[in-house]
């Protein structure tokens, strides 16, 4: 039984129908890669299921409770958000806070945890992403890859049941992508449940256990990773995979 | 320079200094403090898009930024008594300076608030914080940092602009100088002297501004301060 499930998620911006009914179910420990051409609605989907954008329709079941996405209450949003983490493409660290403070804030301010306790957890998380020595640096003093690792530590600190990643490596210089992916790989191996929008096809192939392929606001294909790469069924999926392989060869 | 002029300058200096302590500095400090309160309210109302109050704030800013300070002073001091509103010159000047400066500074503060990226606010929500917590820990500290230099400039401008209050009979530094000139017919030296006293005060404020910017600049500097205490 899936602990997290969304059904028929729809989003319209003005007259632009961006999501036309997305279904997804997630089991504990799943690493799901969401693939698809740009403009297909991947970011919008993640934003809708973490309420940064109000969905036009759809339902969410989280830990046995079902919510109507279009009419969900503020209190319910706050409750669900405390069980989720979000990693943005552009890191979005708090610029006036050190790495350590960035990781602590969700605990001290968001969850009223005692400072010493929060500090201990934050240091542990920064250690996990390999940045303990940089804990007193401000975001402006860190490289993009380091900032994104702090952002991952920040998402981890609140012990979420699932972390959403929106193209976590797309804003990074090529030489910095590896350090972030290896942190994510480590999380996956520790059993963290992750929903990852990405263009890193190798991550999707080697780390994810399920793939969701989106195009034009629909899920065109979804299934186990191995099957998706070895035996894609949809014509658009095949084309997409072909394009990626040719890009990698050239 | 003759002995007579030196004597005049010495006497004028005592009067100018007394006027600065009794009038110019209090007018600047009280006026600017009130301006900051007004500006903060007007900026937050607009930032949070509070209906009606936003429109009122826009109207107020439009009026006070769109009309000359001197006209506002005259209107308040000479015009309002016709409506039965009579004020002493000093409180009248404080009010006009606070309202005028408040209109300008609220724009500075609003743009400083808006310069904090939306992404950080979203990250705050995702970390489980609410609107007020995000404002307090993330938005306001950064906005304050951004607004500090322009607000300091406004304070320095205001210090100099208080000389306009002399036109509505406020006995400030400039009026003290004018009175000495009236008696002695030494406009060149006495006005140079009062100019130098203004220059002294604005230089002092500039030095304070530099020091403040340095203190506030820590998180934008590339330099790592390893000694900094952690305050989350
Ligand atoms: N805030 C918004 N307002 C209007 N249109 C938007 C907004 N955000 C995204 N869109 C539109 O939704 C579509 C999908 O965008 P997005 O979810 O960012 O795609 P992806 O992440 O797959 O590249 C695009 O056509 C985009 O223009
Ligand atoms: Mg996107």
Q: Report the CATH number that the domain containing residue A77 is assigned in CATH.
A: 3.40.50.300
B183-208 burial, b at 16+ Cβ within 10 Å, e below that, comes to ebebeebbbebbeebbeebeeebeee
Tell me the pLDDT tens digit for each residue of A182-226.
999 999 999 999 999 999 999 999 999 999 999 999 999 999 999
**Which residues, other chains included, contact B119 with Cβ-Cβ below 8 Å and sequence gap of 6+?**
A88, A90, A92
Nearest to B32 by CA among B119, B149, B162: B162
Residue A244 pLDDT class (50, 70, 90 cuts):
confident
Among A160, A178, A206, the domain boundary falls at A160
Among A143, A160, A177, the domain boundary falls at A160
Same domain, A246 and A129: no
Given this model, what pLDDT does residue B173 score? 97
Kindly report the backbone phi and psi dihedral angles of residue A95, in degrees, each rounded to the nearest multiple of 5, phi listed first: -70, -20
* DSSP strand pairing (A65-68 vs A57-62): antiparallel
Question: What's the longest Cα–Cα distance across chain B?
Answer: 74
Mutation pick from A82, A84, A94, A99 vs chain B, by most beta carbons of B within 10 Å, is A94
Tell me the pLDDT tens digit for each residue of A95-115.
999 999 999 999 999 899 999
Tell me the pLDDT tens digit for each residue of A129-176.
999 999 999 999 999 999 999 999 999 999 999 999 999 999 999 999
Evaluate whether residue A98 is within a structural domain. yes
Q: What is the mean pLDDT of residues A234-238?
A: 90
Given this model, what pLDDT does residue A247 score? 65
Mutation pick from A50, A72, A77, A97 vs chain B, by most beta carbons of B within 10 Å, is A97
Q: Do A106 and B221 touch (CB under 8 A)?
A: no
Residue B116 pLDDT class (50, 70, 90 cuts):
very high
Helix (H, G, I), strand (E, B) or coil at B52: coil
Evaluate whether residue A6 is within a structural domain. no
Distance CA A39, CA A78 (A): 28
Q: Which residue's CA lies nearest to atom 18 of ligand 1?
A: A43
The domain containing residue A122 runs over which residues? 92-160
Same domain, A173 and A142: no
Mean per-residue pLDDT over chain B, rounded: 94
A50: closest chain B residue by CA: B126
The H-or-E segment that residue B13 falls in is: helix B3-19
Nearest to A95 by CA among B47, B138, B228: B138
- Reduce the secondary structure of chain A to three states and give it as a string: CCCEEEEEEEEEECCEEEEEEEEEEECCCCEEEEECCCCCCHHHHHHHHCCCCCCCEEEEEECCEEEEHHHCCHHHHHHHHCCEEEECCCCCCCCCCCHHHHHHHHHHCCCCCCHHHHHHHHHHHHHHCCCHHHCCCCHHHCCHHHHHHHHHHHHHHCCCCEEEEECCCCCCCHHHHHHHHHHHHHHHHCCCCEEEECCCHHHHHHCCCEEEEEECCEEEEEEEHHHHHHCCCCHHHHHHHHHHHHHHHC
Q: Which residue's CA lies nearest to atom 25 of ligand 1?
A: A39
Same domain, A66 and A171: yes
**Distance of residue B68 Cα from the nearest chain A Cα, in angstroms:** 38
Q: What angle do CA B180, B200, B153 make, to 5 degrees?
A: 115
Same domain, A136 and A152: yes
The answer on pLDDT for B7 being more than 70 is yes
Among A127, A160, A193, the domain boundary falls at A160
CA A170 to ligand 2 center in whole angstroms? 9
Interface membership of A93 toward B (CB under 8 Å)? yes
Given this model, what pLDDT does residue B232 score? 42
Two tokens at A163? 């972390």
Evaluate whether residue A173 is within a structural domain. yes
The verdict on the CB of residue A193 being under 6 Å from ligand 1 is no
Tell me the pLDDT tens digit for each residue of A10-25.
999 999 999 999 999 9
**Domain map of chain B by residue range?**
3-231
The answer on pLDDT for B47 being more than 80 is yes
Two tokens at A233? 């069924």
Tell me the pLDDT tens digit for each residue of B121-142.
999 999 999 999 999 999 999 9
Same domain, A182 and A201: yes
CATH number of this structure's domain B3-231, picked from the four choices 1.20.1090.10, 3.90.180.10, 1.10.3720.10, 2.40.170.20: 1.10.3720.10
Same domain, A183 and A125: no
The answer on pLDDT for B54 being more than 90 is yes
Structural domain count of chain A: 2
Evaluate whether residue A100 is within a structural domain. yes
Given this model, what pLDDT does residue B151 score? 97
Please name every residue paired with A213 in a beta bridge, in sequence order, or none if there are none. Answer: A35, A221
Same domain, A96 and A145: yes
Tell me the pLDDT tens digit for each residue of B179-231.
999 999 999 999 999 999 999 999 999 999 999 999 887 676 665 554 444 44
Helix extents (H) in B69-224: 69-74, 89-114, 118-126, 131-134, 140-161, 173-184, 187-216
The proportion of chain B whose per-residue pLDDT surpasses 70, expressed as a percent, equals 94
Given this model, what pLDDT does residue B223 score? 59
CA A38 to ligand 2 center in whole angstroms? 6
Distance CA A164, CA A155 (A): 9
Q: Which residues of chain A from 17 to 76 reach within 8 Å of chain B, CB to CB? A: 50-52
Evaluate whether residue A2 is within a structural domain. no
Same domain, A69 and A168: yes
Q: Which atom of ligand 1 is nearest to the CA of A40?
A: 22
Decide if the complex's ipTM is over 0.85. Answer: yes
Residue B104 pLDDT class (50, 70, 90 cuts):
very high
Same domain, A103 and A178: no
Given this model, what pLDDT does residue B228 score? 46
The verdict on the CB of residue A212 being under 6 Å from ligand 1 is no
Given this model, what pLDDT does residue B231 score? 45
Same domain, A109 and A77: no
Evaluate whether residue A194 is within a structural domain. yes
Same domain, A134 and A181: no
Nearest to B164 by CA among B104, B208, B100: B100
Given this model, what pLDDT does residue B219 score? 72
Same domain, A96 and A55: no
Distance CA B29, CA A107 (A): 40
Q: What is the DSSP letter of B219?
A: G
Q: Do B126 and A105 touch (CB under 8 A)?
A: no
Burial of A191 per CB tally in 10 Å (0-12, 13-18, 19+)? exposed
The proportion of chain B whose per-residue pLDDT surpasses 90, expressed as a percent, equals 91
CB < 8 Å to A105, chain B: 124, 127, 129, 137, 232
Q: Which ligand is nearest to the CA of A216?
A: 1
């Amino acid at each position: 039984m899936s602990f997290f499930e969304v059904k028929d998620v729809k989003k319209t911006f003005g007259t632009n129908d961006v999501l036309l009914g997305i279904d997804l179910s997630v089991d504990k420990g799943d690493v799901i890669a969401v693939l698809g051409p740009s403009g297909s609605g991947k970011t919008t989907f993640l934003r809708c299921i973490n309420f940064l954008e109000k969905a036009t329709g759809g339902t969410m079941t989280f830990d046995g409770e079902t919510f109507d996405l279009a009419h969900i209450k503020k209190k319910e949003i706050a409750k669900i958000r405390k069980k989720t983490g979000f990693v943005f493409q552009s890191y979005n660290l708090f610029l006036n806070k050190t790495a350590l403070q960035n990781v602590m804030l969700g605990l001290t301010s968001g969850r009223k945890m005692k400072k010493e306790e929060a500090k201990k957890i934050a240091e542990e998380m920064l250690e996990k992403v390999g940045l303990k020595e940089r804990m007193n640096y401000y975001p402006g003093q860190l490289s993009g890859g380091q900032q994104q690792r702090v952002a991952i530590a920040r998402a981890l600190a609140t012990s979420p049941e699932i972390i959403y990643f929106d193209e976590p490596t797309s804003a990074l210089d090529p030489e910095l992508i590896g350090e972030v992916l290896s942190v994510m790989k480590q999380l996956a191996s520790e059993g963290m449940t992750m929903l990852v929008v990405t263009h890193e096809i190798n991550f999707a192939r080697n780390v994810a256990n399920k793939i969701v392929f989106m195009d034009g606001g629909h899920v065109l294909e979804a299934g186990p990773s191995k099957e998706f790469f070895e035996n894609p069924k949809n014509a658009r999926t095949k084309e997409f995979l072909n394009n990626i392989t040719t890009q990698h060869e050239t | 320079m003759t002995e007579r002029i030196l004597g005049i300058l010495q006497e004028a200096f005592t009067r100018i200094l007394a006027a600065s302590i009794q009038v110019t500095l209090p007018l600047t400090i009280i006026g600017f403090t009130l301006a900051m309160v007004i500006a903060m309210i007007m900026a937050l109302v607009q930032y949070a898009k509070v209906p009606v109050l936003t429109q009122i704030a826009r109207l107020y800013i439009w009026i006070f930024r769109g009309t000359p300070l001197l006209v506002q002073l005259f209107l308040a001091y000479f015009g309002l008594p016709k409506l039965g509103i009579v004020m002493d010159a000093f409180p009248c000047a404080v009010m006009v300076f606070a309202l005028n400066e408040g209109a300008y500074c609220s724009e500075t503060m609003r743009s400083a608030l808006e310069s904090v990226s939306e992404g950080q606010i979203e990250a705050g929500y995702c970390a489980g914080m609410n609107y007020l917590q995000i404002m307090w820990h993330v938005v306001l500290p950064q906005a304050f940092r951004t607004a500090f230099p322009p607000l300091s400039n406004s304070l320095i401008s205001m210090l100099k602009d208080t000389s306009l209050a002399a036109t509505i009979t406020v006995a400030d530094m400039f009026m003290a100088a004018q009175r000495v000139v009236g008696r002695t017919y030494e406009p060149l030296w006495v006005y140079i002297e009062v100019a130098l006293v203004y220059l002294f005060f604005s230089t002092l404020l500039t030095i304070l501004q530099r020091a403040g910017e340095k203190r506030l600049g820590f998180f934008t500097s590339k330099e790592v301060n390893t000694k900094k205490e952690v305050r989350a």
